[in-house]
Chain A
Amino acid sequence: MFKEAEIRTFIDGTTNYFETSAQQSATVGSPYLVTDGKPGAYEYTGVIGITGARKGIVYFTAPRGMLTVLLMRMQETDTSDENIKDLVGEVANTISGNARRDFGKNFVISVPVVIAHDLEKITTPHARSFVIPINWRTHSAKLVVCLE
């Protein structure tokens, strides 16, 4: 199924990031649906917009704690807000790169946008989203895929 391959690409993009930057793989929790248009977010979110074969958004959202540990794991001592934002942006970028590689011209992907703290700003274009929990060490993050 095409949709499955798409979502898998986004998941792989996310787990790959942990694998390569933290040398510690992340696991995937069981995915579920959110039907009320509010998939929710943690403090830091990296969003990419998608159009072409499918339209919508994909975002990676994680709590500060997880990102701080991730930064430390990457030998980065500066755990400022800016640095954490950069990190989330980088995850989103990796997801987008992965998708570009897999889907080519069928998908047009925007430059990642990072939203921190301001959770109200994150709105999904459609009511139904796929939410994939991303577990890394003791932390949990989410990958939200909302495509038409």
Chain B
Amino acid sequence: MNFRLLGAWASRFSAGGLVVLVVILALSFVAVVLIPGLKLASDLASSTVALKFVGQQQRNPALIHASLDSMHDRLTNRGYIQESLDQLRDAATKLDAGLQDMTAQRSSSWFSVFADTSALGAPIAGKHATSLREVWAKEQESIEPILKFKGVPYQDNEATGTALNDAGKQLERDVTAASRASKRLIPLIDNELTAIVGELQAANARSATKLRLVMLTGLLIAVLLAGFVTILLLARQRQEASLREARQQTADILRTVKDGLFLLDENLVIGASYSSALESLFQRNDFAGLPFEKLLKNIVSEKTLSTALKFVGVLWSERTKENLVKTINPLGEVEVNVDNGRGEVSTRYLQFEFHRVRVDGKITQVLVSVSDVSARVDLARELQSSQTQAQAQVDTLLGILHVDPAQLASFLNDSNAAMKMINAVLREPAREESAFRKKLDTLFRQVHSVKGEAAALGLSSIESRAHSFEDDLKILREKADLSGNDFLPLVIKLDDLLTHLQSVGDLVSRLARLHVAATRNTEPDSHTATAVIEGGSDIAAKPDASVPSMLQQLTARVASENNKEASLQCMGFDTVPDEYRRIVKDIAVQAVRNSIVHGIESTADRHTAGKPAQGRLKLIFQELGIAGYKLIAEDDGQGLSTERIKEAALKKGFITPERAATLDAKQVFSLLFQPGFSTVEIATKDAGRGVGMNLMAGLMQQIGGKVSVATVPGKFTRLTLTLPPAKRAGNTEAA
């Protein structure tokens, strides 16, 4: 059989149709084959039994006839007749009983199928019953007197020997009559019985033929049935194979797809099938039957969770448009954190998307796809941060563009050194309050010098940071009980300052590279300040010709900020040795600010005092040979007032009123160098912290220099700083 063809043919039927066909065939098998077959078989069995029975009865008429003949002979010969008589009686009884059985009406029953004593060919025998009974009745009538005979038919006589007695004679007559009747009747009975046997055999043959036919039909139906069952099985097998293939494909897809896929039912419970990626995305594997709420719990905030659940709930409503709903998806970017057990937690961003699944137009499930969008999110964040950074860089760039590159490089160098110093001071172990307090002065001096120079260069972003650092320092200075905890804000600001300085530094070096490249292209032989900056930190070793111009700018700026007019004259700055470069610069910056803020009067006051509107500042650096160096800072301002200094000192608690009364001018001026002393009420960027002069004193102390003050009220103030000869690097201790 061509199974392929059959299969193709079978495929026209639906599996259900085939099943119906098979059931119909099975039922028809029962109806057409089994029931008639059973009936035929039982008919066959009963007719066979009847045949056997009738066959047995067929002997009896012959026996009766033979017995009668035998009796007749014996009576004639005066033989012993009892035996023949018994035989006659037996045959007659049997035949009578047999005919009774054959001709009696019986109810046929299915249950009697197996009982071979019933249904003895009754329908067939019935037809012959009347004639059989009639013939047998006649025969019975003729043999009746014989059967009733009892006793002996002979009498013995001496003379005649054995002779028939009366009864014998009567018997002889009866036998003769019976024998005669038998000759006529027995063949009739025989004929009837033979006819019955013939009919029975014919019926038997018919039944057998019918049975064969039924069996053939059965065979045909069975073959058909087997065929259909085979087709059904084949179809099922094909169906299973394609199902298996489909399942395998689904499994392959779910195993390979990078997105997490799962289905949610109406109760928002996850279905049994989901993609393997889900396990790695969520670091769990108990998804089947897991409520969606539990999946999200501990991943998103309570608020997002409830919004998300409502959102998914809305998806089930037919009235809401899917595309519209998607725009309010609260799980567009969910942050998931996974602990790798090695002390690291990694963050991933997951995007949930929801799609309705419809079967026959009805929403049955919601397909959820979860994808890892970390790369995209990270990129977006990076982009944003680089944009912010770029913006900040532009701001910084604008802030530094006006500054001379050499000055800037020098400033950055100094500032970084100051930052290192600050950090080193912070790092010094401290447990006692005094140790903590001791740190403050150095920190003040360092940050103040950075602030001063930043201000001089107009680097407001750095200046304001340093100023804020100073603010914190001031709070600490006034705090009664200092501990390490109090220094935390400072360190954070230091961090911020460092970061900012670093970004300025990066920008400067980038600019320098750019500038150098441009210079090389246009002026190959030119060696301007930009070439100097290329060396980066080497700049410190070069003569600092740019300090005067920086100081000029500072003068102009501070003067304008204080609504004053001032000019600065610098001399001898090109002779400052490297060792004093920074100190001289710091002191000069401080001196310029002090002079303008505290010394130079307002334009109006100067006018009243008969001075030119523009205040004059002088900074002179002199080489004294073996005596070292001298730095003179002079202004034509209002001079120092011992009274005002004393007043401020009293107010700030530096001295007691009693002590104030005994102080001489020198002692009063020395108050100026105390940390935290200032005559200004409200601190500004330029003055008021009382750091500047202290910084100056600190620096001088550091190098073993001297400071002297000369002043004439209303006329001038002159600070003279004497610096010892410069020490060579490496022999600081020896000098």
Contact = CB atoms under 8 A, between A and B. Distances in A.
B420 to A, nearest CB: 9
Interface string A111-137: 111000000000000001011110100
Nearest to B337: A108
A37 interface: no
A63 interface: no
A130 B520 CA distance: 43
Interface string B429-457: 11100001001000000000000000000
* A110, A113, A132, A133 pick with most chain B CB within 10 angstroms: A110
B460 interface: no
Interface stretch (B69-77, B485-493, B543-551): B485-493
A109 B345 contact: yes
Contact of B343 (A8, A47, A108, A132): A47
Contacts of B507: none
A7 interface: yes
B342 A133 contact: no
Given A33-B423, A135-B431, A51 B491 contact: no
Given A49-B344, A105-B301, A28 B485 contact: yes
A99 interface: no
A27 B339 CA distance: 32
B489 A110 contact: no
B494 interface: yes
| Interface range, A side | 35 or more
Contacts of B339: 49, 108, 110-111
B430 A30 contact: yes
B492 A1 contact: yes
A11 interface: yes
A105 B301 CA distance: 8
A52 B342 contact: no
B430 A29 contact: yes
Contacts of B335: 52
Which of B339, B345, B347 has the most A CB atoms < 10 Å from its CB?
B345
Interface string A31-50: 11101000000000001111
A31 B484 contact: yes
A130 B484 contact: no
A55 interface: yes
Contacts of B427: 30, 32, 131
Contacts of B436: 30
Contacts of B492: 1, 3-4, 7, 130
A48 B423 CA distance: 26
B489 A4 contact: yes
B345 A130 contact: no
B344 A110 contact: yes
B301 A8 contact: no
A126 to B, nearest CB: 11
Nearest to B493: A1
Contacts of A4: 488-489, 492
A48 B426 contact: no
Contact of A27 (B345, B484, B489): B484
A50 B487 contact: no
A55 B347 CA distance: 9
Nearest to A12: B485
A31 B346 contact: no
Contacts of B340: 110
Interface in B257-314: 301
A30 B344 contact: no
B341 interface: yes
Nearest to B484: A28
Given A51-B337, A110-B344, A131-B427, 11 more contacts: A3-B492, A27-B483, A30-B428, A30-B439, A31-B488, A52-B337, A52-B347, A55-B347, A111-B339, A112-B343, A130-B491
The 3 A-B pairs of least Cβ separation, nearest first, read A113-B343, A108-B337, A28-B484
11 contacts: A1-B489, A4-B492, A27-B431, A27-B484, A29-B429, A31-B426, A31-B488, A35-B498, A110-B344, A113-B341, A113-B343
